[in-house]
Amino acid sequence: MATLFTRIINGELPGRFVWKDDRVVAFLTIEPMSTGHTLVVTREEHDHWIDLPEALNAHLWSVAQIVGRAVQGAFSPKRVGVMVVGDEVPHVHVHVVGFDSPGQLSFAAVDRGVSAEALDDAAAEIRAQLRVMGRAEVSD
C-alpha cells in the first residue's frame, strides 16, 4: 500500500510543493513547527534513511540544504534546523524547520490550526526564494 507521502507525490492527496525533481520533492507540512516548515521526501518509498542508496541520500541532503537556504531567506529565522524522525510516516523525509529557539523544534509545538492561506503564502515565499537562487526545480 502506498504511503501517505506517495499519495501526495502522485497527486491523490493535496500538497503545497516547493520543489520537484526526478528523485525528491519538497512540500510544506500541514502541521508546522514554524512558518515554512518543509518536508524533503524521496520519491521512492524507503522506510529508513540509513537504508538509502548513497547517491539518493546525498541528493536528499543537498536539496534539504537548498530548501533550508530558501526558508532562511524567506522568513529570517535565527537558525534553520533539520530533523529525521520517520516514525509517523514510513517513508524517508527530512524536516526543514526555521527556528528562533530550540523549543520550537518539537512535535509538541506544531500548529494544528494553521490556515490554508498561511500555508499557501509560506509556500509562495519559499518558491520565490528558490527562484531568486536560480533553481529550476521550483514547483508551481
Q: Can you tell me the mean pLDDT for 1-10?
A: 93
Query: Taking the domains of the chain in order of start, what are their residue ranges?
Result: 4-131
Helix-helix angle 54-75:116-132, to 10 degrees: 110
Instruction: For residue range 64-114, list pLDDT tens digits in order.
Output: 999 999 999 999 999 999 999 878 899 999 999 999 999 999 999 899 999
The chain-wide mean pLDDT, for the chain, equals 95
Residue owning grid cell 526543514: 96
Q: Given pLDDT bands bounded at 50, 70 and 90, which one contains residue 134?
A: very high
The reported pLDDT for the residue numbered 140 is 73
pTM for this predicted structure: 0.96
The reported pLDDT for the residue numbered 88 is 84
Q: What's the CATH fold of domain 4-131?
A: HIT family, subunit A (3.30.428)
Q: What would the DSSP string read from start to end of the chain?
A: ---HHHHHHTTSS---EEEE-SSEEEEE-SS-SSTT-EEEEESS--S-GGGS-HHHHHHHHHHHHHHHHHHHHHH--SEEEEE---SSSSS-EEEEEEESSGGGSSGGG--TT--HHHHHHHHHHHHHHHHHTT-TTB--
pLDDT above 80 for 22: yes
The reported pLDDT for the residue numbered 83 is 95
